Amino acid sequence: MMKKNVIFLLFLILLSCNKRKENSVGNVIGQEEFVLKEKVKDSLNLAWNNILANDSIFTTIAELKIIKDKDLNTQKEYYGILGTTQNDSAKVLCSVELINGKFYFEKSEITTSVICFGSKNCNPKKSDGYWVCDDGTGKEICSEDCKKKTVATTK
């Protein structure tokens, strides 16, 4: 069943990335304001909810938005699409690139999404360029309640 989800997610990402310059996933609308396209919201919502269900995380994505954050160690800024569940017990994040005021899925052979779950304070972050789950202390997985799952797809 997990293989099905990975293939499905791969299909959605490839569909979105097929014509990179023409298929942005969102736009900058203000200095720190971003908008995610509805078709991308719908696709990610479906794919991520399937992945959550197959991993026995029984909650659904309630909100999807583009965020700007900083790597915990390098302080380098990055952008991502963040999905937060209804009860805030799980969060899913994938990276996006900002090019000329538009957001695109990263152009690479492997695309990853990270799922952080188990507590409300369990948040996906980058640390030295790698996905971690942070419980608010700025350290990788400090609480036993904060768990991480990475879903990788190849193009």
Q: What is the pTM of this model?
A: 0.81
Q: Rounded to whole angstroms, how far apart are CA atoms 118 and 145?
A: 5
Tell me, letter by letter, the H, E, C secondary structure of 71-105: CCCCCCEEEEEEEEECCCCEEEEEEEEEECCEEEE
19 has a pLDDT exceeding 50: no
Return d(Cα 97, Cα 81) in angstroms, integer. 10
pLDDT, greater one: 110 or 78: 78
In contact, 35 and 27? CB cutoff 8 Å = yes
Number of domains in the chain: 1
| C-alpha to C-alpha distance for 116 and 81, rounded to whole angstroms | 14
**C-alpha span between 5 and 63 (Å, rounded):** 20
The rounded mean pLDDT for the chain is 82
Q: Which domain holds residue 139?
A: 2-15+22-154
Question: Rounded distance, CA 150 to CA 148, Å?
Answer: 7
Weakest-pLDDT range from 63-67, 103-107, 135-139: 135-139
Phi, psi of 105 (to 5 degrees): -60, 145
For 60-73, write each residue's pLDDT tens digit: 999 999 999 999 99
Q: Which residue has the higher pLDDT, 12 or 61?
A: 61
At 61, the amino acid letter reads: I
Q: Residue 118: what pLDDT?
A: 86
Q: Is the pLDDT of residue 18 over 80?
A: no
Residue 4, pLDDT score: 54
